[in-house]
Amino acid sequence: MTLFLSKIVRLFVSFLLLFSQNAPQLLSLPLIPNGQEIDLSRFELVWEDEFTGTELDMTKWNHNWWEVERKGGYWHEDMVDVRDGNLIITTAYFEEPLPNYYEDYFASQPNAHTYKPGWYNACITTKGKFEQTYGYYECRAILPASTGMWSAFWMMNTHVEEVDGSGQDGTEVDIFESMYYKDNWWGAGGAVISGIHYDGYGEGQQSASIGKWFVNNPYEEYNTYGLEWNENEYIFYINGVETGRLSKGGVSQNPEYLILSCEIAGENGIAHADRHGVGKMRMKPGDTADFIVDYVRVYQYK
């Protein structure tokens, strides 16, 4: 039923586009990828993880263990699994806190958060192990089917926090974020958003987005999400088809690292309704949602 409704909404969006490119956005409807296709012959593969074996490759990734409380939930390395050729980040509720494997570190940190009962998932990052300037970055994934949370494939740089009116020193680049499962009931839930943030996360923060874009049955089927980054702009792709371009603030000129993550909407470790537009958490204790990643590949220009 959901797929049928999605097809109806896509047909409606296509109809609106006949009259105006802006019409779907005025109605807050996702757009259909319709740009040029990525030409991979211009690139060479320089880094990849196909997630073979039974454990996360720690020569390529770090668990983001230094950040315990994350918005409305908690990040914990036990929520990461590698099996059947996939990375799997699971979201689940725990009545008893999961163990803290880094007590010595947190005991020495002022205002350190501790694990509590609540929703758990995870974040992994290539920080300090792989960072690159420019190129093409892609993951192939099935998204977690739940309201109240989202998954993401993104890039970061330590200079993002510097407030200087420019994104050239470092920009958070959200290749995709899956925030619209709440709209699945009327056929517009199979969409993602892409955008950038720079100048920190306070009053000086600057942002830009290319809007919402339809994906092919993303909660049940694999799709690819890509970014081409050069000195002039960021170009976003879904299944190899361009969705939009951004260059606000000037493009980052410094190496960035990769992040795969899931997050719970809320604050102080407590999930609550509709932060970031994801809707109220409808999963109950005992329910789970999986972010399934088939591969991550990084290319450099030839």
The angle formed by the CA atoms of residues 122, 175 and 27, to the nearest 5 degrees, is 110
Quote the pTM value: 0.95
- Average pLDDT of the chain is 93
Q: Which of 135, 155, 143, 139 is nearest to 225 (CA)?
A: 139
pLDDT number for residue 50: 98
CATH class of 35-301: mainly beta
What is the token pair recorded at 6? 């999605």
- When pLDDT is cut at 50, 70 and 90, the band that residue 104 belongs to is confident
Measured CA to CA, the distance from residue 227 to residue 205 in angstroms comes to 22
Residue 1 above 60 pLDDT? no
Q: Which of 151, 60, 69, 160 is nearest to 116 (CA)?
A: 69
3-class DSSP assignment, residue 298: strand
Amino acid at 13: V
What is the token pair recorded at 65? 């263990």
Q: Are 82 and 88 a contacting pair, CB within 8 Å? A: yes
Q: Are 257 and 246 a contacting pair, CB within 8 Å? A: no
Q: pLDDT by residue (tens digit) across 171-197?
A: 999 999 999 999 987 788 999 999 999
Alpha helix stretches (DSSP H) within the chain: 2-17, 23-26, 103-107
Measured CA to CA, the distance from residue 268 to residue 251 in angstroms comes to 33
What is the four-CA torsion angle of 75, 76, 79, 84, rounded to 10 degrees? 100
* Average pLDDT estimate for 106-117: 88
Residue 58 CB partners (closer than 8 Å, separation 6+): none
Q: For residue 1, how many other CB atoms are within 10 A of its CB?
A: 8
Residue 134 above 80 pLDDT? yes
pLDDT number for residue 201: 94
3-class DSSP assignment, residue 19: coil
Residue 95 CB partners (closer than 8 Å, separation 6+): 117, 285
**From 91-105, 124-138, 169-183, 268-282, the region with the lowest mean pLDDT:** 268-282
3-class DSSP assignment, residue 27: coil
Domain limits, the chain: 35-301
- When pLDDT is cut at 50, 70 and 90, the band that residue 23 belongs to is low
- When pLDDT is cut at 50, 70 and 90, the band that residue 20 belongs to is low
Q: Are 209 and 30 a contacting pair, CB within 8 Å? A: no
Residue 76 above 60 pLDDT? yes
Phi-psi region of 12 (alpha: psi -120 to 50; beta: other; left: phi over 0): alpha
Measured CA to CA, the distance from residue 258 to residue 246 in angstroms comes to 19
